């Protein structure tokens, strides 16, 4: 593949790591069992093949038919049901699963998983299953904090299980505390991360910057821009879902932190520069997708500026250019540019002459790929019509979702690192 070639993706799913993957969703008897419908629905929409296994207590709360209507596959409820999908082979799903997700997980099911009991369809499947286990507990806070439950959680964690939540908040009983099922989207985000283990970026560290920066004018005002951070967050997820260890350096955005990565929150361009230089030293690749303010007020006022009838002129000074600073701190040390970070990706957001500006950036900033985006239409939206610009090629991606663009970037980085071996 030549460097600007855009890798193909599964149609309709934007290269989603869940597409075509076999997941067993175990549902136990928590009042939060109805939220497992949302988890199943989100994974099904992403193209996953989901086998749902319900405990008896779960089936008393939510019908197997409701799950079946969402996943379009037979749902397992009872062991030994001759007409059910496990009638022939009681561990059939254990051997096809690429991940076993227990959500919600009751105190009772967590105890049975930890002890290795196999007294129903879900625990029998779990005991025979060697795929990664994701557990999303939901229970009254007193059940969660009980030493017995905590001991079982420690046992399962030591065996490699990934726990998601429980969250703090209001319980169905009306009490407040830690015990709420994690948000379905967060559970699914963790499943994607787990499925990424062993992917083409396994063992690689990728640093991604995202969002705007804020440059203070006084204690209550700042200069900033319309960047939503969506593109950078999508890139961070896409490289994580290919197995990378990710450090996401984020300006202030209105987005939930993605699962299973280190998120470093920064405000100003100078904070972002410090964080990037700190983490880039050991990175294999950097993707600088943040919309860093080009200028900042020379001096932020110590107290709030007062309204006045007179004109107010703000004196601005340029901020450091992070990619140029990165190049100075970590020079490329040979013709084939093998200096850490080995692969450097920048973004260009331009209102005009997109490709010409991207080419200029490529050369000046010594990066391997510029993802050129037209603005303002890219800001805040879910889609983008990006163009990949490398020293020897220009490849328009066409209109895609930001997740689709992010997948293409992640595949490009993986290919580039593989080519360097
Ligand atoms: C309405 C209702 C809600 C319940 N919610 C929870 C819960 O959120 N978490 C929990 O651990 N147990 C909860 N229980 C208790 C479990 O259903 C009970 O421990 C059961 O044995 C769990 O079986 P299972 O783990 O096989 O699904 C609830 C019970 C009822 C009747």
DSSP 8-state secondary structure symbol assigned to residue 212: B
CATH no., domain 22-194: 3.40.50.1950
- What is the average per-residue pLDDT within 25-46? 97
- Which overall architecture, per CATH, does domain 202-300+314-420 show? 3-Layer(aba) Sandwich (3.40)
The closest alpha carbon to 238, from 7, 2, 5, 3, belongs to: 7
DSSP 3-state of 311: coil
- Residue 380 above 90 pLDDT? no
CA distance 27 to 37: 10
User: Between β-strands 383-384 and 387-390, what pairing exists: parallel, antiparallel or unpaired?
Assistant: unpaired
Which residues are designated catalytic?
225
Q: What is the predicted pLDDT for the residue at 315?
A: 92
pLDDT bracket for residue 79 (50, 70, 90) = confident
CA distance 123 to 121: 6
Residues touching ligand 1 (Cβ under 6 Å) are: 28-32, 55, 57-58, 106-109, 138-139, 143
Whole-structure pTM value: 0.90
CA distance 364 to 74: 58
- What is the average per-residue pLDDT within 206-221? 96
Joined together, the tokens standing for residue 115 give 């002890």
Distance 154 CA to ligand 1 centre (A): 21
Q: What is the predicted pLDDT for the residue at 12?
A: 47
Question: Which of 108, 111, 125, 165 should be mutated for ligand 1, with most atoms under 8 A from CB?
Answer: 108
User: By CB neighbour count within 10 A (0-12 exposed, 13-18 middle, 19+ buried), where does 265 fall?
Assistant: middle
- Residue 292 above 60 pLDDT? yes
Question: Which of 25, 27, 30, 120 should be mutated for ligand 1, with most atoms under 8 A from CB?
Answer: 30
All CATH 3.40.50.10300 domain ranges of the chain, comma separated, are: 202-300+314-420
Query: Which residues does 297 contact at the CB level (< 8 Å), separation at least 6?
Result: 215, 216, 217, 223, 314, 315, 316, 317
Q: What is the predicted pLDDT for the residue at 14?
A: 64
All CATH 3.40.50.1950 domain ranges of the chain, comma separated, are: 22-194
CA distance 308 to 320: 32
Q: Which of 130-144, 150-164, 237-251, 343-357 has the lowest mean pLDDT?
A: 343-357
């Amino acid at each position: 593949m030549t460097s600007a070639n855009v890798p193909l993706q599964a149609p309709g799913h934007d290269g989603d790591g869940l597409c075509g993957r076999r997941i067993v969703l175990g549902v136990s008897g928590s009042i939060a069992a109805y939220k497992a419908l949302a988890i199943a629905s989100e994974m099904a929409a992403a193209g996953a093949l989901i086998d749902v296994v319900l405990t008896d207590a779960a089936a008393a709360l939510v019908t197997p038919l409701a799950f079946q209507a969402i996943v379009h596959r037979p749902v397992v409820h009872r062991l030994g049901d001759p007409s059910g999908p496990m009638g022939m082979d009681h561990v059939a799903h254990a051997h096809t699963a690429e991940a076993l997700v227990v959500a919600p997980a009751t105190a009772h099911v967590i105890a049975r998983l930890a002890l290795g009991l196999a007294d129903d369809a879900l625990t029998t499947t779990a005991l025979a299953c060697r795929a990664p286990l994701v557990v999303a507990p939901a229970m009254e806070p007193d059940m969660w904090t009980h030493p017995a439950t905590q001991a079982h959680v420690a046992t399962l964690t030591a065996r490699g299980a990934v726990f998601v939540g429980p969250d703090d908040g209001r319980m169905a009983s009306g009490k407040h505390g830690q015990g709420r099922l994690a948000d379905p989207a967060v559970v699914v985000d963790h499943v994607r991360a787990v499925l990424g283990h062993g992917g083409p970026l396994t063992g690689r560290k990728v640093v991604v910057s995202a969002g705007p920066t804020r440059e203070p004018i006084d204690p209550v005002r700042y200069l900033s821009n319309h960047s939503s951070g969506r593109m950078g967050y999508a890139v961070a997820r896409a490289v994580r879902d290919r197995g990378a260890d990710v450090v996401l350096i984020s300006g202030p955005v209105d987005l939930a932190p993605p699962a299973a990565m280190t998120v470093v929150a920064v405000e100003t361009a100078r904070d972002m520069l410090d964080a990037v230089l700190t983490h880039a030293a050991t990175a294999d690749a950097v993707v600088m997708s943040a919309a860093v303010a080009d200028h900042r007020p020379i001096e932020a006022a110590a107290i709030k500026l007062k309204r006045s009838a007179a004109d107010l002129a703000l004196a601005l000074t340029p901020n450091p250019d992070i990619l140029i600073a990165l190049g100075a701190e970590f020079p490329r040390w040979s013709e084939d540019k093998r200096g850490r970070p080995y692969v450097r990706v920048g973004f260009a957001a331009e209102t005009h002459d997109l490709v010409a500006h991207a080419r200029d950036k490529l050369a000046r900033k010594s990066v391997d790929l510029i993802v050129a985006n037209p603005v303002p239409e890219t800001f805040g939206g879910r889609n983008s019509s990006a163009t990949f610009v490398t020293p020897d090629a220009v490849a328009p991606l066409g209109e895609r979702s930001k997740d689709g663009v992010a997948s293409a970037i992640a595949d490009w980085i993986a290919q580039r690192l593989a080519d360097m071996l």
